[in-house]
Amino acid sequence: MDVESVQASLHWALQFLVPATLVLFSISLWKYYVNSTKDASSSLPLPPGTVGYPFVGETLGMIFKGFEFYRSRREKHGHIYKTHVLGKPTIRVWGNENINKVLKNEESLVTMSWPTSVKDIMGHGGLITSTRKLHNTRRAIVMKAFTCSAINGYADGMERIISKHIKSWCDQGQVMALAESRKLAFETTANMLLGCSYSPAQMRSMMANMEVMVDNFFTLPIDLPGFGYHKAMRARKQLLKTLDDIIMKQHDDCKDRTDAVAILQEQLQDGSLTTEELKDTLIEMLFSAYHGMSSLCCSAFLELARHPEVMDKLMKELDSCNSKHGTLQQEQMSKMPYLQRVCKELLRHSPPYGGGFRHVLKTFELEGYQIPKGWTVLYSIRDQHEAEENFKNAGSFDPDRWATNEANDSYMPFGGNGIRSCVGEKYITTFAQIFLCQVIRGCQWELVDGNTKSTHFPVQLPTNGLPLQFTAGYRKVTA
C-alpha cells in the first residue's frame, strides 16, 4: 500500500472515529451527570435502567415505540426502573405496595408534577396543576358538579346526544370511529358543562382548538411562531374566548339550569372560585372528554366487535330489564350487573390513561432503591392492569372476572384512591354505561380492519382511526 493510500485511510478513519468518540464520550458524560443527581446522603443505589442520549434522554423512544418502550423495560427490570423522559430524570414504578406508598404520601414525599408545556396549556387554575391545600380547596368545589344528584341531572342529555350520534353513524354507513367518538364525547361533556345552546360553529371551533392543544401537549415551552407550544397557547386563548362568549353572554337567558357551570357559578358569587379557575376547570373537563372518554368509546367498539358473546350477554340483560327501547333510568342500569362488569373490564383492559406523574419532595426508598429528591416518579396504571401477578389471564378481555365482586387493589383506572383520584369517575362510568346500552340496542357495527392496532401515548387510541361499518337496529342474540 502506497503512502497516499495510507494517508487516505487514516484520514477516513479520523473522520469517522473522532465524531464517534465524541458521541460516546457525551453519552458517558450524560449518564454520569444524571446519576450524579441521586441523593448522596442515601446509601441506597438508584434503580436499574438507562437514561438515553444527552438532553433528549429516552423521550423519542417513548413516543415512537409507545407502550412497547415500557413493556420491554418492565419485563427486564420488574417493578421499578429509571429512565429520562420529557426533560426529567424519571423513575417508573408499579406494584401495589410501591404505588400505595407514592399515592398515600401525597404532599409529604411527592407532589403533583407535569411538564411545563402541560401546565401552561391546561392553565394554572384547575385541579391537575394545583398542589397541597389549594388542590384540596379546589377539589371540594369542583366535586359539587359531580355529585350523584348532579350526574343524574346530566344523564338524560347524555342519552339524547348519544342516540343522535348513533343515528348519524347508521345514516353514513362507514365512519371513522375515533373522530366520531371525539365529537360524541366532546359534545356530551360540553352540554353537561355549559347547558345552554351553542352554535355548530362554536362547537367546531372548540374542538379544533382542543385538537391543537392536545397535539402539542408534550412539547418544548418555546413561545415563538412555528413551535408547537406557540400554536397550543394560541389555541387555548381562542378556546377561552369561545367559552367566554357562551358562558357570559348566553347563560343569563337560561332558566332552570342543571349544568356544571350553573353549579360552579354559585361559587363565583361567594368568592370561593375565580373566573380563571372556572375556565381552567372547564378546559380540564373538555380535555378529559376529547381524550379519555373518546378512548373508552373506541375500546368498547373494538372489544365488543371482537367478543360477540359479550354483546349477546348485554342484550339478554337488556331484554330481562325490558330496556331494549325507551329512556334508560339510573335505577335500571344499577340493576344490570353484567353491564357493570363490562364497564369495569373495559377500564381494566384498556385504561385511557397509562399513569401519573409526581415530583419527589423528599428522598425515600422503594424495594431497596432510592427515589431521589428532585426526580420524577411515573406510576403505571397500565403495568398494574397487565401484570399476571395482579390479574389472571390479564391480556384477555373477560368481564366475568368481576363476577365475584372481590376487591382488587391493583385495579386503578382513575388513578388510585389517593387525594388526587379522578373527580369525574362517576360521570365517566355513567357515560360509559349509557353509551354501551345505546350502541347495543340502537345499532350494529363491524370492524373494517380486523387488524386494528392501538397506541398508548399519550392515551390509548386506535392507530388507523378505527373505520367501522354501521347499520341501524339492534343485533339479534345468537343461539
Residue-wise pLDDT for 313-335, tens only, equals 998 998 887 665 556 666 777 78
Distance CA 418, CA 104 (A): 6
Q: Domain 139-195+257-351+418-479: which topology?
A: Cytochrome p450 (1.10.630)
Q: What is the structure's pLDDT at 27? A: 72
Amino acid making up residue 131 = T
CATH of domain 35-123+353-412: 3.30.43.20
Q: Which residue has the cell 398508548?
A: 456
Q: What is the structure's pLDDT at 475? A: 63
Q: Comparing 5-19, 110-124, 399-413, which segment has the lowest mean pLDDT?
A: 5-19
Q: Comparing 107-116, 188-197, 231-240, 371-380, which segment has the lowest mean pLDDT?
A: 188-197
pTM for the full model?
A: 0.86
User: Which is more confidently placed, 24 or 203?
Assistant: 203
CA dihedral 121, 126, 129, 133 (to 10 degrees): 160
Domain(s) of CATH 3.30.43.20: residues in the chain: 35-123+353-412
For residue 404, the tally of other CB atoms under 10 A from its CB is: 7
Q: What is the structure's pLDDT at 83? A: 92
Distance CA 423, CA 411 (A): 17
The chain-wide mean pLDDT, for the chain, equals 85
Distance CA 443, CA 473 (A): 5
Domain(s) of CATH 1.10.630.10: residues in the chain: 139-195+257-351+418-479
Residue-wise pLDDT for 290-318, tens only, equals 888 999 999 999 999 999 999 999 989 98
Distance CA 382, CA 387 (A): 9
Asked if residue 158 has pLDDT above 80, the reply is: yes
Q: What is the structure's pLDDT at 146? A: 86
Q: Comparing 263-277, 402-416, 459-473, which segment has the lowest mean pLDDT?
A: 263-277
On whether the CB atoms of residues 177 and 239 are closer than 8 A, the answer is no
Residue 73: CA count within 13 A, CB half-sphere: 26
Residue 256: band (very low, low, confident or very high) from pLDDT cuts 50, 70, 90:
low
Q: What is the rounded average pLDDT of the residues 131-159?
A: 84
Asked if residue 23 has pLDDT above 70, the reply is: no
